[in-house]
Amino acid sequence: MSTSAAHAAPDTSVTVDGAQGGRTFDGIGAISGGGGNSRLLTDYPAAQQSQILDYLFKPGYGANLQLLKIEIGGDANSTDGSEPSIEHARGTVNCNAGYEFWLAEQAKARNPKIGLYGLAWAAPGWIDGGFWSTDTINYLISWLGCAKQHGLPISYLGGWNERGHDAGWFVQLRAALDKAGYSGVQLVADDSGWGVADDMAKDKAFNDAVSIIGTHYSCEGGDGGNANTCSSTQAAKDNGKPLWDSENGSQDMNTGAPALIRAITRGYIDAKMTSYFNWPLIAAIYPNLPYSTVGLATAGSPWSGNYTIGTSTWATAQVTQFTEPGWKFIDSASGYLGGSESNGTYVSLKSPNGKDYSTIVETTTAQTAQTVNLHVTGGLSTGAVHVWATQVNSPGAATNLVRQQDITPVDGSYSLTTEPGWVYTLTTTTGQGKGTATPPAAHALALPYTDNFDNDVSGTEARYLSDMQGSFEVQKCAAGRDGQCLQQMAAVKPIEWQDDSDAFTLVGDTTWKDYRLQTDVELAKPGAVELIGRAGTQNRPQSHQQGYFFQISDTGAWTIFKSDANGHRTVLTRSATAALGTGKWHRLALSFSGTAITASVDGKDVGTVNDASYSAGLGGLGMTHYATDQFDNLSFQATR
Ligand code: 147
């Protein structure tokens, strides 16, 4: 019964009638991509890595994701890093590049029914004619071939993230997919706004090519805002094809949980969207990067194994653990509590067997307790109702996916008293659960830290190195050196999604202060390489990287400069030393001790400067051009 309160909301009566229906529910997913956000998960200790994957994908354990959207890496930054392409150079395909196929394999191993969706943000620069080209179509077909090799059936494929559409290209892509044996792959368009539905209404060939209308951030407030209304257009609703919230989120893993659940319920009630994809899946990124606590969980400490499962995981579980793609919404049992969005919302879904149902009630905008009176009819089970709840407005471990007392309907009728700030699921289904694994404490990455890349698998990313632009892979060393080295693989500027910058990769710990970063380098062609130290806050785009940089060109000209987190660069000192040339190995170092910053070349200090702007941060390697330059014998030694 509702408590007495000054402005008590009216009771809500809901008839959950199995004879009524609505659109088909397509599932709830998350996005690993757009991008770089899953990077550090690959380097987690096996036990914790498996726990995190269980919390994301294992049925009845955590987020229990029903769909997974993965980035088709393009060697260019897509928000929190640059994901590697399977084809850095035309004609050379490496199906083991990057971590998205690995992640999808892990997801599928835990939930064989998970639906997979591929989408590109960027693409390699060898593609001729820009993104909307035949080259890109062939490239996407190569990517699908890689997915197939990995045993991963891709059900959904998009165009170019948030870059609208070229209708003719989608038509051409559809035909090419059919011809290549991928007639089962459904195209999603256009991972941008609702204009796509207007264009589909005007263009039959385009309409026929597209299977799903997927738009982004269709609930008011994307970055940091509240999802108070969700909207689609009449043209979209009239189209008849599924409408997907193919990206939403961008919210802190805890404080974003209310917006997440509203986007799912109101996405259907207000906009008839039948799927929701949270961006991103996980923040497995260095903590100096943007969005470092955004996703369903965080995992930014692979050397310690520490991770945190966010309340957004449990808000997601309140839907995913109680439904399956293919269930149907019951429109007449979905709406606003007490008739007003300010009280909260509810949606009901029924299973194809006509017996089971789940009703999700969220009270994230409510001010008072409320009573919901339900009546079950139309063939649905009138047996015991199981109740699970998560307090999304004030996150806490004790109030995540808590099982409450069962309710026994009398003549199909029962009541639920709700408190403000919760999501409740009323269900006849069973099998739900809350994972129990707990992480070890976090600690910093220890110094000294070294990597000679000789123990890594060729063609993969080196441990802990997080590419921000370009793609750095372990490859056979060039220029007469034995063993393996780190090579930047994008030989030409990619088709970018975010702005251009130096190609660079970050590694280390944000708390590192006084250290010497040393590496051997070999320039493949004229240009400059760079060492980065005390790398701190990075803002978008990735060129806005705070820290100290030592750049040296093949001519021997060098610069030490600092950059703030807005990308403003200040030269601290510059001069020239003997030419490095190309195709030759040299040893470079950048040392920090208090305010003293020293650069050295082949064992000789070439410049020292004092600057007190930045006292701690990661290291990094990079270059100012797109070239297949190499690095070897990376080391970080404490200087005091
Ligand atoms: C998305 C991108 O697709 C992601 O790759 C990532 O960059 C994310 C970070 O918030 O942003 O794009 C958005 C587009 C529109 C909105 C928010 C994010 N919006 O309108 O609020």
> For 299-314, what is each residue's pLDDT tens digit?
999 999 999 999 999 9
Segment 43-50 mean pLDDT: 98
Q: Whose CA is nearest to atom 9 of ligand 1?
A: 250
Q: How confident is the model at residue 368 (pLDDT cuts 50, 70, 90)?
A: very high
Q: For residue 229, give both structure tokens.
A: 């209304």
The alpha carbon of 34 and the centre of ligand 1 are apart by a number of angstroms equal to 9
Q: For residue 587, give both structure tokens.
A: 């040893």
Q: Of ligand 1's atoms, which has the minimum distance to the CA of residue 225? A: 21
Q: Exposed, middle or buried: residue 346 (CB in 10 Å: 0-12, 13-18, 19+)?
A: buried
d(CA 345, CA 357): 17
Percent of the chain with pLDDT over 70: 98
Q: Give the strand pairing for 503-507 and 538-539.
A: unpaired
Q: Check residue 270 and give its pLDDT.
A: 96
Q: Of ligand 1's atoms, which has the minimum distance to the CA of residue 162? A: 3
Q: Check residue 220 and give its pLDDT.
A: 77
pLDDT tens-digit map of 333-349: 999 999 998 899 999 99
Q: Mutation test of ligand 1: which of 247, 252, 292 has the most ligand atoms closer than 8 Å to its C-beta? A: 247
Q: Whose CA is nearest to atom 2 of ligand 1?
A: 34
d(CA 165, CA 181): 23
Sign of CA dihedral 79, 82, 83, 89: positive
Q: Check residue 224 and give its pLDDT.
A: 45
The ipTM value here is: 0.92
Q: Of ligand 1's atoms, which has the minimum distance to the CA of residue 222? A: 21
The alpha carbon of 12 and the centre of ligand 1 are apart by a number of angstroms equal to 36
Q: Check residue 444 and give its pLDDT.
A: 98
Tell me, using a 6 A CB cutoff, whether residue 178 lines ligand 1.
no
Tell me, using a 6 A CB cutoff, whether residue 223 lines ligand 1.
yes
Q: Check residue 4 and give its pLDDT.
A: 42
Q: Check residue 226 and give its pLDDT.
A: 60
Segment 199-209 mean pLDDT: 98
Whether this prediction's pTM lies above 0.95 is answered by: yes
The alpha carbon of 63 and the centre of ligand 1 are apart by a number of angstroms equal to 22
Q: What angle do CA 222, 228, 233 make, to 5 degrees?
A: 80
Segment 441-459 mean pLDDT: 97
Tell me, using a 6 A CB cutoff, whether residue 522 lines ligand 1.
no
Q: Check residue 458 and give its pLDDT.
A: 96
d(CA 259, CA 249): 8
Q: Check residue 8 and give its pLDDT.
A: 67
pLDDT tens-digit map of 248-299: 999 999 999 999 999 999 999 999 999 999 999 999 999 999 999 999 999 9
pLDDT tens-digit map of 600-617: 999 999 999 999 999 999
Is residue 99 pLDDT above 80, yes or no?
A: yes
Segment 618-624 mean pLDDT: 98
Tell me, using a 6 A CB cutoff, whether residue 224 lines ligand 1.
no
Q: Of ligand 1's atoms, which has the minimum distance to the CA of residue 290? A: 9
Segment 353-380 mean pLDDT: 97
The alpha carbon of 223 and the centre of ligand 1 are apart by a number of angstroms equal to 7
Q: Of ligand 1's atoms, which has the minimum distance to the CA of residue 247? A: 3
Q: Whose CA is nearest to atom 8 of ligand 1?
A: 250
Contacts of 505 (CB under 8 A, 6+ apart): 465, 466, 467, 468, 470, 472, 620, 621, 622
d(CA 75, CA 116): 21
The alpha carbon of 205 and the centre of ligand 1 are apart by a number of angstroms equal to 29
d(CA 129, CA 126): 9
d(CA 11, CA 525): 73
Q: Mutation test of ligand 1: which of 117, 162, 292 has the most ligand atoms closer than 8 Å to its C-beta? A: 162
The alpha carbon of 77 and the centre of ligand 1 are apart by a number of angstroms equal to 14
Tell me, using a 6 A CB cutoff, whether residue 136 lines ligand 1.
no
Q: Whose CA is nearest to atom 21 of ligand 1?
A: 222
Radius of gyration of the chain (CA): 26
pLDDT tens-digit map of 520-569: 999 999 999 999 999 999 999 999 999 999 999 999 999 999 999 999 99
Q: Whose CA is nearest to atom 4 of ligand 1?
A: 34
**DSSP secondary structure of 611-627:** --S----EEEEEESS--
Is residue 222 pLDDT above 50, yes or no?
A: no
Is residue 587 pLDDT above 80, yes or no?
A: yes
Q: Check residue 229 and give its pLDDT.
A: 86
The alpha carbon of 250 and the centre of ligand 1 are apart by a number of angstroms equal to 7
**DSSP secondary structure of 475-493:** EE--TT--SEEEEE---S-
pLDDT tens-digit map of 476-496: 999 999 999 999 999 999 999
Segment 507-516 mean pLDDT: 98
The alpha carbon of 291 and the centre of ligand 1 are apart by a number of angstroms equal to 11
Tell me, using a 6 A CB cutoff, whether residue 162 lines ligand 1.
yes
Tell me, using a 6 A CB cutoff, whether residue 71 lines ligand 1.
no
Q: Are the C-beta atoms of 258 and 273 separated by less than 8 Å?
A: no
The alpha carbon of 35 and the centre of ligand 1 are apart by a number of angstroms equal to 11
User: Residue 636 forms beta bridges with which residues?
Assistant: 449, 517
Q: How confident is the model at residue 1 (pLDDT cuts 50, 70, 90)?
A: very low
Q: Of ligand 1's atoms, which has the minimum distance to the CA of residue 79? A: 7
Q: Check residue 519 and give its pLDDT.
A: 98
Q: Of ligand 1's atoms, which has the minimum distance to the CA of residue 540? A: 7
What kind and span of H or E run contains 86?
none
Q: Check residue 89 and give its pLDDT.
A: 98
pLDDT tens-digit map of 354-365: 999 999 999 999
Q: Which amino acid is at 354?
A: G
Segment 107-136 mean pLDDT: 98
Q: Check residue 9 and give its pLDDT.
A: 76
Q: Check residue 3 and give its pLDDT.
A: 42
Tell me, using a 6 A CB cutoff, whether residue 390 lines ligand 1.
no
Tell me, using a 6 A CB cutoff, whether residue 277 lines ligand 1.
no
Segment 463-471 mean pLDDT: 98
Is residue 128 pLDDT above 50, yes or no?
A: yes
Furthest C-alpha separation in the chain:
90
Helices 134-149 and 100-110 cross at an angle (nearest 10°) of 40
Segment 414-425 mean pLDDT: 98
Catalytic residues: 162, 247
Is residue 570 pLDDT above 90, yes or no?
A: yes
Q: How confident is the model at residue 221 (pLDDT cuts 50, 70, 90)?
A: low
Q: Check residue 5 and give its pLDDT.
A: 44
**DSSP secondary structure of 237-278:** HHH-S-EEEEEEE--BTTTTHHHHHHHHHHHHHHH-EEEEEE
Q: Are the C-beta atoms of 585 and 479 separated by less than 8 Å?
A: yes
Please choose, from the candidates 308, 278, 301, the residue with its C-alpha nearest in 3D space to the C-alpha of residue 66: 278
DSSP 535: E
Segment 417-438 mean pLDDT: 98
d(CA 213, CA 245): 9
Q: Check residue 2 and give its pLDDT.
A: 39
Q: How confident is the model at residue 227 (pLDDT cuts 50, 70, 90)?
A: low
Q: Whose CA is nearest to atom 11 of ligand 1?
A: 250
